[in-house]
Amino acid sequence: MYGQSVPLLSAGGPPPVSFDLPKNVYRFGEQTLWSTQFLQTGALANGTFRLFTTPLGQVGQGFAAALSISETNLKEGGRIPSGIAFDCFGIAAQQIQTTTSTDTGTGSGAIVNTDNQIGNLVNLQQNGVIQWDFTQTQVDVCPVMLAGFGGGAFGALAASDVAAGANTQQGNVNNGNGSVWLYRKHPVALPGNSTFSILLRFGSRAAAVAALNAFQVRVVLLGYYKNVIEIA
């Protein structure tokens, strides 16, 4: 008995485990990247604004103060980190109202000039266009009208709590024309170390942003990531 060769596995059993350790471990998940442009009082016609270039904690993209986590979650502007691949399958564009002409470093309040601020939303929807920018190549995505973000130019309205006879209506509007823009079959692949940005462009018929009615546009990229972790 002890002189015979005994097989370690019976016929048809699972293969033996390799003695070699893996060199890399891959981690997969879903992630959103976002970036915001501040559009101050003034002309928008034929304007081009570049998003995803200013990282967290720095000043840019129309803001007078450093961008916080509400405005962006980029650690490095305009570049996918090394060792990470990002596939974008959806894009959303959100309008955020303010009651100032320039960035004051404070949060946005409720709408008080309903006419002008709803006009800002319609202006953005009808005249704004989103594009990818890959250094030397620009790729059209869609008009802002097709990149919804929930909500809508409607919703709860309430009179402000001021003296009788001076009440103004306050409410909320958003780019809620439909679902987010989705790449149904072919996501946009952004390999590690690749550079990119999103362009927000306006046509020649875009109206100007009225005084005390500046607004922000936050663009969100929805996607999958693959992270390579070297262990040996």
Domain ranges of the chain: 30-230
Q: What is the pLDDT of residue 217?
A: 93
Q: Mean pLDDT score of the chain, rounded to an integer?
A: 82
Where does the pLDDT of residue 207 fall: very low under 50, low under 70, confident under 90, or very high at 90 and above? very high
Of 90 and 157, the structure prediction assigns the larger pLDDT to 90
Q: Is the pTM of this model over 0.85?
A: no
- Quick: pLDDT tens for 146-191: 887 765 556 556 665 555 566 666 666 666 666 788 888 899 999 8
Where does the pLDDT of residue 136 fall: very low under 50, low under 70, confident under 90, or very high at 90 and above? confident
Where does the pLDDT of residue 93 fall: very low under 50, low under 70, confident under 90, or very high at 90 and above? very high
Are 215 and 95 within 8 A, CB to CB?
yes
Percent of the chain with pLDDT over 90: 42
- Quick: pLDDT tens for 46-75: 999 999 999 999 999 999 999 999 999 999
Are 147 and 135 within 8 A, CB to CB?
no
Residue 84 burial class via C-beta count within 10 angstroms: exposed 0-12, middle 13-18, buried 19 and up: middle
Q: What is the pLDDT of residue 117?
A: 79
C-alpha to C-alpha distance for 40 and 54, rounded to whole angstroms: 17
DSSP string, 82-151: TTEEEEEEEEEEEEEE-SSSS--SS----BS-HHHHHHHHHHHHHHEEEEEEETTEEEEEEEGGGS--S-
Are 86 and 225 within 8 A, CB to CB?
yes
- Quick: pLDDT tens for 2-40: 555 555 555 556 666 666 656 666 778 888 999 999 999
